[in-house]
Amino acid sequence: MSVEIKQFEKYTPVSSEHTEYIKNLTEYCKCSARRPAFHMIPPCGLMNDPNGLAYYNGQYHVFYQWHPFGPSHGMKHWGHFISEDLITWTDSPEILIPSEEYEKNGCYSGNSIQIGSDLFLYYTANYKSPQGKIPKQALAIMSPDEKIRKYANNPIIDETPEGLTGEIRDPFVFRRNGSFYMFLGGGTTDGIGRLILYKSDNGFAWNYQGCIALSGLDVGRMIECPSIVTIDGKDVLFLSFIGKEPEGDRYHNAFSTVYLIGQLDVENLTFHIEACDELDKGFDFYAPQAFYNKENKPVYFGWFGCGVQELPHMKEDMWIHGLTMPRLMSIRNKRLIQNISEKTAAQYDTVVYTGGQVVLDKNSFHLCIPVCQTNMVVQIGQAEDCFKIRVDNEHGKLTLDRSSLLEQFCQEYGVSRSLSFDPGKLTQLDLYYDNTFGELFINKGEDVMTFRAFPKSLVISIN
């Protein structure tokens, strides 16, 4: 199948004149050889951050940053998937289109919260001026009939607090002590990331409170995509950073995300940190957003991508990136444990590795590896075109190595990622591989590594 590719000016919002073209692109993308079976990807074009995640009115809503016209970061819309079970997804035509002057450069990231019977969608109205960005936050309201309308008095926040740059974005609204609070990411004019707090009594009118002190944490030069949930009485805060320096094995991607476990104090503008770590220790991961599922359990989706990436086949595919599987969260020994539900896992055929060479005839599989040896190397692919998982149980080190893949990408950030664990304590690896989308769960969710890989064959051998 082929499709005629059209070029558009970078900040073109979709309109009825593009309907036919987007439909053709979508049909074309359905035949892509790189299409995962179980991960969410855009119908066409580029997908980045998950937005507006909610279980609302009996259904899950996953919005996402979407540039429909091609596999590049252009005019951002909010694409929209709906599901009853977090497994089967329907593409919804009810999307956010940057149609107004105040959002002339895109509808950027944000979250959602139910107020009354409506779902309030908060987002950043991206507005560029010759002097730089002018920060504007906006609101759209989805009613129970799933129709979305922009709030007439947008932007709801239209100011730059003193000392901060114009790059203020990614509202995350939550309830606390009977009020609404909104986190925003940003940075100071002298280049230090800031977590910004606003307060509201009704979700429409917002007042600046100040910036949250983060106990001296290195937050890079800008914070993006804040997100918070409560687990067993503890606050779990996700922050995504631009410009965080690597520390040992951690923070080697273009941009990095951490989780903080502790206590948020909105009155005193502090987050007391009890534990902190890189959320995902792989390569292609950023900007996760947390929410509560049907059972009121905390879950998150992450963006299966990071920054501006050139991936193999993106130009011929006409789509790029996706989302991780939904990850359930819990806390054990001051550590965030991340797992997928049994339902999510049941989509995959499981191969429990018992030895020898296994040739898989499927592009998507779950490989469960009980770790009995002290040292082992799991190779996926042929020797000259493979990725490897190296386990050194004696020294407590695991390495995911992409250096032997024929199709290399993003090498400027390194070709391997490592993590440490208590020596002798690694007992199980679970690799969910979904046609180029890999999620490796270590010791049942003590750590996760997200990565893309494009090996031609999927022979598995372990030494």
How many alpha carbons lie under 13 Å from residue 356 in its C-beta half-sphere?
6
Question: Which of residues 21, 28, 64, 108 is near ligand FRU by CB under 6 A?
Answer: 108
| Residue from the set 41, 197, 225, 460 that interacts with ligand FRU by CB under 6 A | 225
Rounded distance, CA 424 to CA 351, Å?
24
Kindly write out the interface string for residues 111-140 of this chain, putting x where it contacts ligand FRU by CB under 6 A and - elsewhere. -------------x----------------
Token pair listed for 230 = 């409560």
Q: How far is the CB of 287 from ligand FRU (least distance, A)?
A: 4
Given a contact cutoff of 8 angstroms between Cβ atoms, the answer to whether 94 and 146 are in contact is yes
Least CB distance from residue 384 to ligand FRU, whole Å?
Answer: 34
Q: How many CB atoms lie within 10 A of CB 195?
A: 23
Other Cβ atoms less than 10 A from the Cβ of 162: the count is 8
CB of 79 to ligand FRU, least distance (A): 12
* Structural contact between residues 435 and 347, judged by C-beta atoms closer than 8 angstroms: no
Q: How many angstroms from the chain centroid is the CA of residue 448?
A: 13
Please give the residues from 45 up to 104 whose contact with ligand FRU meets the rule CB under 6 A: 48-49, 65, 76
Q: Which is nearer to ligand FRU, 170 or 439 (CB)?
A: 170
Q: How far is the CB of 278 from ligand FRU (least distance, A)?
A: 16
Task: Report helix, strand or coil for 28.
Answer: helix
C-beta of 170 vs 447, nearer to ligand FRU: 170
Q: In terms of CB distance, is 224 or 392 closer to ligand FRU?
A: 224
Strand order in the sheet with 447-452: 350-352, 364-370, 428-434, 437-442, 447-452
Would you say 108 or 206 has its CB closer to ligand FRU? 108
| Of positions 21, 80, 109, 302, contacts ligand FRU by CB under 6 A | 109
- How far apart CA 86 and CA 89 sit, in angstroms, is 7
Using the rule CB under 6 A, is 170 a contact of ligand FRU?
Answer: yes
- Sign, CA torsion 289/293/297/301: negative
How buried is 347 (Cβ within 10 angstroms: 0-12 exposed, 13-18 middle, 19+ buried)? middle
Least Å distance, CB 170 to ligand FRU, is 5
- One DSSP character per residue, 19-66 reads HHHHHHHHHHHHT-TT--SSS---SSEEEEEEEEEEEETTEEEEEEEE
The contact mask relative to ligand FRU for 273-312 (x = CB under 6 A, - = no) is -------------xx-------------------------
Structure tokens at 353: 């590795």
Q: How far is the CB of 305 from ligand FRU (least distance, A)?
A: 8
- Annotate each residue in 185-204 with x if it binds ligand FRU (CB under 6 A) or - if it does not, as one string: --------------------
Strands 437-442 and 428-434: antiparallel
Question: What tokens were used for 302?
Answer: 């992450």
Q: How many residues bind ligand FRU (CB under 6 A)?
A: 13
Least distance in Å: CB of 3 to ligand FRU?
24
Binding map of ligand FRU across residues 148-167, x = CB under 6 A, - = no contact: --------------------
Which neighbouring-strand residues pair with 400?
A: 389, 417
Helix (H), strand (E) at residue 315: helix 314-317
Instruction: Give residues 440-459 in contact with ligand FRU (rule: CB under 6 A).
Output: none
Q: How far is the CB of 173 from ligand FRU (least distance, A)?
A: 15
Question: Between residues 224 and 430, which has the closer beta carbon with respect to ligand FRU?
Answer: 224
3-state SS, residue 329: strand
Q: Smaller CB distance to ligand FRU: residue 112 or 364?
A: 112
Taking the complex as a whole, the smallest distance from the CB of residue 301 to ligand FRU amounts, in Å, to 13
Other beta carbons less than 10 A from residue 352's beta carbon: 9
What is the binding site for ligand FRU (CB under 6 A)?
Answer: 48-49, 65, 76, 108-109, 124, 169-170, 224-225, 286-287
